Structures are given as C-alpha cells and as structure tokens.
Amino acid sequence: MKTKPDPDSLLGHLVELRNRLLRCVIAVLIVFAALAYFARDIYALLAEPLLAVLPEGTSMIATDVAAPFFAPFKLTFIVAICLAIPYILWQVWQFIAPALYSREKKLMAPLVFSSTLLFYAGIAFAYFVVFPLIFAFFTSVAPAGVTIATDISSYLDFVLKLFFAFGLSFEIPIAILLLIWSGSVTRQALAEKRPYIIVGAFVLGMLLTPPDVLSQTLLAIPMWLLFEAGLWLSRFYQPKTDEPSQEQEP
C-alpha cells in the first residue's frame, strides 16, 4: 500500500513544492486561455503609444511571415503571467510561511503584497509616462527621407525589456527594507553612500534600457527617488535580532 510522504521530510517538502508549482502553471494557463481570444486587441493596446506618434500614412509592419500570429499570443502569455503573479506569490507564501516565525510573518506578508503593487506600478509608469515620451522623441529625430515602419516583433521585444526594467526597479524600496531588516546594512551606511547610489542608478539605467539617453534617464531618476523612499520607510523597520521567537508556527 502506498504511503503518503511525511510533510516534514525532504520528500514531503519536494512533493508540496511540485504541487504548488503545478498550481501556478495551471493558473497561468487558465488566464491565458481566457485572454487568447483578445490577443489582437491586447497587442493593439500595447502598440497605441507608438501608433499615436507615428507620422501620417505610416504604420507598423511584420517582416516575419508568422509574426502577425505569434507576436500577439506571446504578449498575451506574458500578460497572463503578470495577472497571475498575485496567485503565484500566494502559493510561494503558503510554501514558506510554515518555516517563518510569527514576527517574520508579520513583516513578510505586507512586503509580498506591496512588492506586487510596486511591480504593477513600474509597468504602468513605463506605459503611461515613458512610452509616450520616448516614442515621440524617436519619431521626431528620424532623418529626412526615412520612413518609420517598426516591426511588430521588434517593438514587442523593446517594450517587454522596458516593462521588466521598470517593474524590477520599482522593487528598490522592498530590497532596501529587507537589507536593513536582515542586518546586512544599516540605514546610516546607505545614506552615506547616496552619491554612489545615484551613479549606480544611471549605470543600471544604461544596462537595463535600450541605448538611448532619454530612456536611461527616465529609469535612473525613478530608481533614485525609490531609493530615497525606501530609505525613509526603513526608519519604521527594526533590524532583525538573533533572539528566537517564543513560538514558531508548526
């Protein structure tokens, strides 16, 4: 007779991890299936910031035969992952929560929730603020006689890189809070390194964005401001102590 693995054993943890990963995959597939019918509309919404500033008489093109089919579905799958992030993080939380002390749970729960909102905020900032500015700039500096006709696959790769860069950069306050809470660094030490942080923000902006000064600056300045926000919020978080909690969740 087949016995159920002990949940406290290594095999039990691996089985639970597998089950939660399967739930995450199923959740993404369900969201993707619900959005697949609207794939073309989703891509049209993504292309709106560029189409709004293209010169009259020009449009986007597809240089690959299969691009008109695969590009919208690729975007839809990524959108499905983004929409399923709260559920994915919930499954991650359910997996690690039993190993945390009560004080750690009270700290991590709001951080998981706020990190999700910050990631969405980074994507929204890129779409509503950055895209209109950089696309208007790019189209305005095109040399005379050059017809702007952006490939839909290239455009998708471009905006996804920016979405990832801005979504990741908006997690800076969470990273600072975790570093200070874990004792890896102090708030005073970070404040003293502010000039280096600002330079590092512009270097990361150069590495994470396409090679143009405008998008690099639009990423570096929010990163610096988010660093200041995380530094200010860190005064409300006490560093982690080495004393074990009186009780640990089973």
Q: Higher-confidence residue: 98 or 176?
A: 176
Tell whether 75 is covered by a domain: yes
The reported pLDDT for the residue numbered 9 is 66
Full domain range(s) for residue 98: 10-170
The reported pLDDT for the residue numbered 155 is 92
Tell whether 88 is covered by a domain: yes
pLDDT band for 249, please (50, 70, 90 cuts): very low
Whole-angstrom distance, CA of residue 142 vs CA of residue 156: 20
List pLDDT tens digits, range 215-226.
Answer: 778 888 888 888
pLDDT band for 2, please (50, 70, 90 cuts): very low
Of 82-86, 138-142, 160-164, 221-225, where does mean pLDDT reach its minimum?
138-142
pLDDT band for 7, please (50, 70, 90 cuts): low
Q: C-alpha 162: how far from its chain's center?
A: 10
pLDDT over 80 at 182, yes or no: no
The residue behind tokens 């560029």 is 50
Rounded alpha-carbon distances, angstroms, from residue 12 to 23, 37, 149, 181: 17, 39, 55, 30
pLDDT band for 250, please (50, 70, 90 cuts): very low
List pLDDT tens digits, range 52-108.
Answer: 888 777 788 888 888 888 999 999 999 999 999 989 888 887 888 777 677 767 777
Tell whether 84 is covered by a domain: yes
Q: Nearest to residue 73, comparing CAs of 101, 40, 46, 114?
A: 40
Tell whether 163 is covered by a domain: yes
Whole-angstrom distance, CA of residue 195 vs CA of residue 203: 13
Pick the most confident of 15-19, 142-146, 154-158.
154-158
Whole-angstrom distance, CA of residue 74 vs CA of residue 80: 10
pLDDT band for 238, please (50, 70, 90 cuts): low
In degrees, rounded to 5, the angle at the alpha carbon of residue 133 between the alpha carbons of residues 127 and 136 is: 115
pLDDT over 60 at 244, yes or no: no
Tell whether 203 is covered by a domain: no
| R_g of the chain, CA atoms, integer Å | 22
Tell whether 157 is covered by a domain: yes
> Percent of the chain scored above 70 by pLDDT?
87
Side chain identity at residue 103, one-letter code: R
pLDDT over 90 at 15, yes or no: no
pLDDT over 80 at 11, yes or no: no
Q: What's the whole-number average pLDDT of the chain?
A: 82
Q: Nearest to residue 129, comparing CAs of 221, 42, 200?
A: 221
Please give the tally of structural domains in the chain.
1
pLDDT band for 179, please (50, 70, 90 cuts): confident
Tell whether 36 is covered by a domain: yes
Tell whether 110 is covered by a domain: yes
